[in-house]
């Protein structure tokens, strides 16, 4: 195991950097116990964006937040494939001395990373907690109007990160992390508003179709303890890109997709949250996330 490097001065308190596959990757752990839960952020999000549920989880077991390459405070990298992210995470957990099997808690795009990890390292998965996960069958469940709108959006020119765009994100981030401690919140928002990090988030989202193709090549989930949380609310970040009728149609497709996913896995469960939205699910309903993790741990430990 390589010794971790010290966190630089612009980091929130806590956490360490580990040298993995030629890159410096940031990781923070809290709590004790097994199995560890590892939080996999959605596109454009990273480590301490999950500080609240990380701290709640640490009361139950070992909790881990980290930044995959190209995001947060980890080294920059070209947009990788799902498999490359999975192999990187596997190597990071080994380097950090975090023994599997693990629970992977994947939010949005992080849900794809979690499922790909389960495909490639099935023996090292104790369970999956998926928070409003992306899924390869989502487009098929869209209404014709919503699909046409989405296809048109995908064909638009690359979204430019201008100073005006950065400032438009600032109140969204402030609302998302309003209850975070100031020593975590302030550097987190500053890092979020870096044009380079905003660009990575948009690139990850834009390449989701390629990720869908990759995950279709792997086997379906089988015998994996699984809880899905599906958020049916609407937040300001969604309204930046879509009119409300389209978001409502997207939510309906998301619900149908989640229900089909849990039907495909024996014993799996979908919990619908009408008072939470996609990007802010864990901020608006940390209690629901914590309860789902507790129920998953109880099943696994039993």
pLDDT of residue 66: 98
Confidence class for position 292, pLDDT limits 50, 70, 90: very high
38 neighbors 32 (Cβ within 8 angstroms) = no
In sequence order, which ranges of the chain are alpha helices (DSSP H)?
51-57, 82-95, 109-120, 144-154, 163-176, 182-192, 195-206, 208-216, 236-239, 244-263, 281-284, 286-301
* Closest of 100, 96, 102 to residue 114, by C-alpha: 102
Q: Pairing state of beta strands 16-20 and 23-30? A: antiparallel
Confidence class for position 12, pLDDT limits 50, 70, 90: low
SS3 58: coil
The count of other CB atoms within 10 Å of the CB of residue 248 is: 15
Q: Is the pLDDT of residue 210 over 50?
A: yes
How confident is the model over 113-166, as pLDDT tens digits? 999 999 999 999 999 999 999 999 999 999 999 999 888 877 776 667 888 888
pLDDT of residue 22: 92
How confident is the model over 106-127, as pLDDT tens digits? 999 999 999 999 999 999 999 9
SS3 27: strand
Separation of CA 146 from chain center: 24
What residues are paired with 128 via a beta bridge? 104, 226
The more confidently predicted of residues 225 and 44 is 225
CATH fold of 16-301: Rossmann fold (3.40.50)
Separation of CA 18 from chain center: 20
Q: Is the pLDDT of residue 2 over 60?
A: no
Q: Rounded mean pLDDT of the chain?
A: 91
The more confidently predicted of residues 89 and 243 is 89
> 232, exposed or middle or buried, with CB in 10 Å at 0-12, 13-18, 19+?
middle
Q: Where are the domains of the chain?
A: 16-301
Average pLDDT (173-193) is: 92
């Amino acid at each position: 195991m390589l010794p971790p490097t010290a966190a630089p001065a612009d980091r929130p308190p806590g956490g360490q950097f580990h040298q993995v596959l030629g890159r410096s990757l940031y990781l923070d752990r809290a709590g004790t116990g097994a199995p560890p839960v590892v939080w996999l952020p959605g596109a454009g999000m990273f480590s301490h964006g999950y500080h609240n549920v990380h701290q709640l989880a640490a009361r139950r077991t070992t909790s881990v937040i980290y930044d995959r390459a190209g995001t947060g405070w980890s080294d920059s990298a070209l947009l990788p494939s799902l498999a490359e992210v999975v192999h990187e995470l596997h190597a990071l957990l080994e380097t950090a001395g975090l023994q599997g099997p693990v629970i992977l808690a994947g939010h949005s795009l992080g849900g794809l990373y979690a499922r790909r990890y389960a495909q490639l390292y099935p023996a090292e998965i104790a369970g999956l907690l998926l928070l409003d996960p992306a899924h390869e069958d989502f487009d098929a469940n869209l209404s014709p109007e919503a699909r046409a709108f989405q296809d048109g959006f995908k064909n638009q020119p690359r979204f430019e990160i201008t100073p005006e765009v950065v400032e438009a994100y600032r109140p969204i981030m402030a609302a998302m992390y309003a209850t975070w401690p100031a020593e975590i919140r302030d550097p987190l928002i500053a890092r979020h508003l870096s044009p380079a990090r905003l660009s990575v988030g948009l690139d990850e989202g834009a390449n989701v179709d390629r990720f869908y193709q990759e995950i279709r090549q792997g086997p379906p989930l089988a015998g994996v303890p699984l809880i899905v949380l599906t958020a049916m609310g609407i937040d300001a970040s969604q309204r930046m890109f879509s009119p409300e009728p389209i978001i409502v149609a997207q939510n309906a497709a998301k619900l149908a997709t989640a229900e089909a996913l849990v039907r495909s896995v024996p014993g799996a469960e979908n919990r619908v949250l009408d008072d939470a939205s996609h990007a802010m699910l864990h901020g608006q309903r940390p209690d629901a996330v914590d309860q789902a993790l507790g129920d998953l741990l109880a099943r696994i430990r039993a």
